[in-house]
Amino acid sequence: MSTATTHDAHHEEQRSGLMRWVFTTNHKDIGTLYLLFSLLMFMVGGAMAMIIRAELFEPGLQFVQPQFFNSMTTMHALIMIFGAVMPGFVGLANWLVPMMIGAPDMALPRMNNWSFWILPFAFAMLLSTLFMEGGAPAGGWTMYPPLVLQTGNAFPFLIFAVHLMGISSIMGAINIVVTIVNMRAPGMTLMKMPLFVWTWLITAYLLIAVMPVLAGAVTMLLTDRNFGTHFFNAAGGGDPVMFQHIFWFFAHPEVYILILPAFGIVSQVIPTFARKPLFGYASMVYATASIAVLSFIVWAHHMFTVGMPVTAQLFFMFSTMLIAVPTGVKVFNWVATMWKGSMTFETPMLFAIAFVCLFTIGGFSGLVLAIAPVDIQLHDTYYVVAHFHYVLVSGALFSIFAGIYYWLPKWTGHMYNETLGKWHFWLSVIGMNIVFFPMHFLGLAGMPRRIPDYALQFTEFNQIATVGAFMFGFSQLIFLIVVMKAIKGGEKATAQVWEGAEGLEWTVPSPAPYHTFETAPVVK
Amino acid sequence: MALGNATTLTKLFVVSLMMFGFGFALVPFYYKICEVTGINSGAEQVLVKNTQVDTSRWVTLEFDANTNAGMPWQFKPAQRIMKVHPGQLVQVDYEVVNTSDRAIVGQAVPSYGPRRAGAFFKKIECFCFTPQTLAAGERRRMPVLFVLDPSMDKDVNTVTLSYTFFDTGAQAKTTELQKDLPRG
């Protein structure tokens, strides 16, 4: 296999220009494609967030119609989840998993090319709905029937775009599992793998288990609307709440798909800049696995208001709270790794520390929402919006920033501009808190989500949030500049890049050559 | 190595296909769980929400069934006596058999004892609302669903609900018969 791959790859190198990227089977090229695609989608989804916040700057309708506003919230979520965060993590996995385990490439390079190139088509389909009669999907990213069945011409585009994203994720996940299971260098036992590889292995299993369930759920929506089935149609003996059960059976593991690789990245970054090995490696692995297993039995905590019996509410409430235990172990281990370490605060470390602090806040508001009687009050308010943005923006997104700053010198061979990086960090972290912290108060006061208008007493907090949103949004342009500058040039990076960096990826020169570990390294 | 990758790929591909099927299997699976554990019974939830039940008193209900003279139907309640709380949702079934060799349309007419108790029978569903057509030899079970209004006088402890079926298809014959019946 490895000789065949290398042989193909050598042909690849002879291609030039655009075709190199279309036909590439090289894990580094595909990783780059994924990351650039993720960056593009991040900007598109971010622009939608700016429209949402601009509309909410004042009560009443200013800039957009309610239907379009709802399209924006729906599309912002779909694009950020499936277009920005997931491809961002897959891009990091493509670049780093083979280098971290001493493999020459991903196990299935052609499938890898497919996994990526499906995505631009999926999102072209999804974004094209913005220009359709009836507008883009506006029923929320959760696609609850019967509301979603009222979508106009965009409906089949939404369904098939989700199908394509699912196929892409499943193929990517299968590739990562096969690579990690079969392609590790001699001596790289499972319990010696870097934590980023471990978290991705578990994430990939979650993806294989739940993405097909989402595909099934949206297929049922499609047949309900177009082919006369009654899965979710009460008139035909179905049940609309059934969709929510199936959807959240997918979507709760999905939120861990969005955060487990983040745990992995932070577990790589913190030991480097604390100059200490990771505290409690084995407990980190077991905690990750526990979170993944528990993620399958908590789905109905998203549905406390559908009229569940008290026994079921209690079960889902307590099982949800149980997840705080392995997550607490992880936070403890990160803090313990920093304890008495010789810490320095380069940009990746700053993002990683912000991750630990702010993700913990998001985790705590999650615990508040896990309490069934409280959730009935807070369901579908801005408190929920505040909660999931603390875990997805300062959680998933900040970890991706940390990862990119951390490995960018390895990819480009140049150090990024540390001053600009620090500006990006501070503006992002302050902006992010200005946007999302007031939302806790708005939610507690009862402001409902997904509505373009609000009662007058919510004005001040909404104005603060909008100011923060624009601060956060525009500071991402600094990130764009930092990345472009590092690609073009800058101070030469050494092979190890960071003084405290350890692992196989730091043993190859910077920038990493097109082919690495063609002869497997021996891990002691 | 190549074989290993292909094998793992196949296994994982089969797993993802199975999970696609599992998504669909979740539909009957959830229904079964709700059925076995009884956690999604709509009727029960309606009952739980009904806070009008006066559990402090019992009322004995007696059910009676008759057919008009000469009508070839057998008509009887499934249960003769029942003890209920006012405000409670009550269902009682009546059984009717057409013993003739032709289809007959019948209409049931209720009467109450004591008579003023009739005003406190809040019927939700009753076979007496519409005429019933029974084919030759047909047997049918028909429900009456009602709530006894809790505001019914406290001194009423026993109420009789009586139904009489009249043959609506045989108008002329009925009028003939009615001539012979004593008035009142």
Structural domain span for residue A44: 1-9+24-258
Positive or negative torsion for Cα B148, B149, B150, B156 = negative
Poorest-confidence range of A261-270, A381-390, B73-82?
B73-82
Poorest-confidence range of A23-37, A181-195, B33-47?
B33-47
- The reported pLDDT for the residue numbered A14 is 57
Q: What is the pLDDT of residues A41-70, one digit of tens each?
A: 999 999 999 999 999 999 999 999 999 999
Q: What is the pLDDT of residues A78-90, one digit of tens each?
A: 999 999 999 999 9
Q: Which chain A residues are within 8 Å of B35, Cβ to Cβ?
A: none
Q: Which of B124, B114, B120 is nearest to B152 (CA)?
A: B120
Q: What is the pLDDT of residues A281-300, one digit of tens each?
A: 999 999 999 999 999 999 99
In the set A95, A248, A256, A416, the catalytic residue is A256
A230 & A148 share domain? yes
- The reported pLDDT for the residue numbered B46 is 47
A311 & A227 share domain? no
A242 & A275 share domain? no
Active site residue A169: yes
d(C-alpha A325, C-alpha A308), whole Å = 25
- The reported pLDDT for the residue numbered A388 is 96
Positive or negative torsion for Cα B132, B135, B136, B139 = negative
Give the CATH number, domain containing residue A360.
1.20.210.10
- The reported pLDDT for the residue numbered A286 is 97
Q: Which of A248, A249, A230 is nearest to A239 (CA)?
A: A230
Is the minimum CB–CB distance between A249 and chain B shorter than 8 Å?
yes
Residue A84 tokens read as 């920005």
- The reported pLDDT for the residue numbered A1 is 40
* Residue A278 belongs to some domain of the structure: yes
Domain spanning B49-168: which CATH class is it, in words?
mainly beta
ipTM for the complex shown: 0.83
A489-to-A33, A39, A485 alpha-carbon distances in Å: 20, 20, 6
Shortest distance, CA B45 to any CA of chain A (angstroms): 9
Q: Are residues B9 and A178, on separate chains, in Cβ contact within 8 Å? A: yes
Q: Which of B109, B100, B27 is nearest to B67 (CA)?
A: B109
Residue A207 tokens read as 């993806």
- The reported pLDDT for the residue numbered B152 is 86
A175 & A296 share domain? no
A251 & A274 share domain? no
- The reported pLDDT for the residue numbered A3 is 43
Domain limit, last residue, from A210, A233, A258:
A258
How many C-beta atoms surround the C-beta of residue A320 within 10 A?
24
A242 & A345 share domain? no
- The reported pLDDT for the residue numbered B51 is 62
In the set A449, A450, A485, A515, the catalytic residue is A449
Is the minimum CB–CB distance between B81 and chain A shorter than 8 Å?
no
Domain assignments of chain B as residue spans, ordered by start: 1-40, 49-168
Domain limit, last residue, from A204, A233, A258:
A258
Q: Output the average pLDDT for chain A.
A: 94
Poorest-confidence range of A120-124, A198-202, B152-156?
B152-156
Q: What is the pLDDT of residues A346-365, one digit of tens each?
A: 999 999 999 999 999 999 99
Portion 24-43 of B in contact with A at CB < 8 A: 24, 26-27, 30, 39
* Residue A180 one-letter amino acid: I
Positive or negative torsion for Cα A328, A329, A330, A335 = positive
Q: List, as one string, the DSSP characters of A68-90.
A: HHHHHHHHHHHIIIIIIIHHHHH
Query: Which positions ≥6 away from A434 have C-beta within 8 Å?
Result: A464, A465, A467, A468, A471, A472
Active site residue A168: yes
- The reported pLDDT for the residue numbered B40 is 62
Instruction: Say if residues B71 and B58 touch (Cβ distance below 8 Å).
Output: no
| Adjacent-strand bridge partners of B162 | B64, B111
How many domains does chain A contain in total?
2
Q: Which chain A residues are within 8 Å of B39, Cβ to Cβ?
A: 308-309, 311-312
Over residues A304-331, the mean pLDDT reads 93
A214 & A273 share domain? no
Render each residue's pLDDT in chain B as its tens digit; 184 residues.
Answer: 455 888 999 999 999 999 999 999 999 998 888 888 776 654 444 444 556 788 888 999 999 998 887 788 999 998 899 999 888 888 899 999 998 888 888 888 888 888 888 888 888 888 888 888 888 888 999 989 998 888 888 888 899 999 988 887 654 444 444 455 444 4
A140 & A64 share domain? yes
Query: B116 by DSSP, 3-state: which?
Result: helix
Over residues A414-443, the mean pLDDT reads 97
Query: Is a pLDDT exceeding 80 seen at residue A228?
Result: yes
- The reported pLDDT for the residue numbered B175 is 47
Q: List, as one string, the DSSP characters of A298-324.
A: -GGGG-GGG---HHHHHHHHHHHHHTH
Q: What is the pLDDT of residues A482-496, one digit of tens each?
A: 999 999 988 999 999
Portion 312-351 of A in contact with B at CB < 8 A: 312
Query: Is a pLDDT exceeding 80 seen at residue A120?
Result: yes
Is the minimum CB–CB distance between B17 and chain A shorter than 8 Å?
yes
* Residue A15 belongs to some domain of the structure: no
Q: What percent of chain A has pLDDT over 70?
A: 97
Confidence of residue A224 (pLDDT cuts 50, 70, 90): very high
Q: Are residues A231 and B22, on separate chains, in Cβ contact within 8 Å? A: no
Positive or negative torsion for Cα B18, B23, B28, B34 = positive
B21-to-A328, A340, B11, B25 alpha-carbon distances in Å: 35, 52, 15, 6
- The reported pLDDT for the residue numbered A365 is 96
- The reported pLDDT for the residue numbered A4 is 44
d(C-alpha A460, C-alpha A58), whole Å = 9
d(C-alpha A518, C-alpha B1), whole Å = 14
Domain limit, last residue, from A258, A289, A316:
A258
